């Protein structure tokens, strides 16, 4: 079946996850799903996308959302950018020294986390 991702028509199999279709078609959706640091799929929610249904939109995790009908999907809307930025802040608060997270954070305009008390001792 056909799905529209960011205005691009892509072929998908029934039940295939949005993330898999996007990756196969060279559409980047950030994800941490395959990290050993997390307990499986859907835990980080960084791969959220926006489904367009009639006049409404719905936010879903692309790594666990199966395609069962023709869909229109947005991976880079301003709403998705804001949600991912918030998720990045939360993830960084849990793992501030993670280089991969800090690298992703830069893509969302966030500065790498500097742990208080570990650098610049004595400066205010």
> Reduced to 3 DSSP states, what percent helix, strand and coil does the chain have, rounded to the nearest 5?
25, 20, 55
For residue 67, is it within any domain?
A: yes
The pLDDT tens digits for 35-80 are 656 555 677 889 999 999 888 999 999 999 999 999 999 999 999 9
Determine the pLDDT at residue 122.
Answer: 46
In the block, tokens 């939360």 appear at 90
Query: pTM for this structure?
Result: 0.82
Residues in the chain: 124
Determine the pLDDT at residue 119.
Answer: 46
For residue 118, is it within any domain?
A: no
CA-to-CA distance for 101 and 98, rounded, in angstroms?
5
CATH of the domain at 54: 3.10.20.740
């Amino acid at each position: 079946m056909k799905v529209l991702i960011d205005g691009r028509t892509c072929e998908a199999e029934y039940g295939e996850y949005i993330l898999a279709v996007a990756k196969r078609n060279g559409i980047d959706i950030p994800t941490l799903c395959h990290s050993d640091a997390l307990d499986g799929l859907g835990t980080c929610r960084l791969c959220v996308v926006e489904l367009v249904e009639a006049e409404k939109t719905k936010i879903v995790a692309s790594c666990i959302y199966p395609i069962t009908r023709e869909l229109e999907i947005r991976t880079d809307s301003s709403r998705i950018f804001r949600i991912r930025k918030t998720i990045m802040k939360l993830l960084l608060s849990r793992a501030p020294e993670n280089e991969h997270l800090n690298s992703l954070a830069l893509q969302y305009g966030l500065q790498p986390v500097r742990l208080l008390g570990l650098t610049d001792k004595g400066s205010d």
